[in-house]
Amino acid sequence: MIFKRIKITEGQRKRANKRYEFIRLNNSMTGGGGNTAGALGEILLIDKYGDKVEDVSTFDYDLIIKGLRVEVKTKRQMVYPEPYHYMNIFNFNIQQQCDWYCFIVVDYEHRNGWIVGWKEKKAFFDESKFYKKGDVDDTYFDNPWTFSHDCHCIKVRDLILR
């Protein structure tokens, strides 16, 4: 899988900083540190789909694209997204009433983004692997990861590219 890098513009960064004028989202895993990256993920999709997007930003989903309720899940990474990387949804977010998830990666400097894939909600939970808090993901043989919360994970290679 080769993901097209999206160079994030200064204008997109400014829009992201104004998008959520609060310090911390409920259940934020980073204490609000990922707010700008999350907003950038939404802006990347708004800019990609243009007039086919309705920007609604509810608890249950962020956008309506071509009539489908889309929850955008943005992950900050220091490295290029690889097919074996996990995208995840924390267990406390599984009640969201969306149709699809769109997974996006944004680098920590907010200079580059990648739309890594889509998954219909039911298919995500049917195909994802559940990890409990404290479980160790040893698929990164040189850097095992211990899960800090219960979550559902799916490999990037199992997502749909659009």
pLDDT tens sequence across 104-116: 999 999 999 999 9
Q: Note the pLDDT of residue 56.
A: 95
User: Rounded distance, CA 103 to CA 88, Å?
Assistant: 9
pLDDT tens sequence across 14-43: 999 998 765 545 555 555 567 999 999 999
Q: Is the pLDDT of residue 139 over 90?
A: no
Nearest to 86 by CA among 45, 125, 139, 132: 139
Q: Which helix (H) or strand (E) holds 10?
A: helix 10-19
pTM of the complete model: 0.90
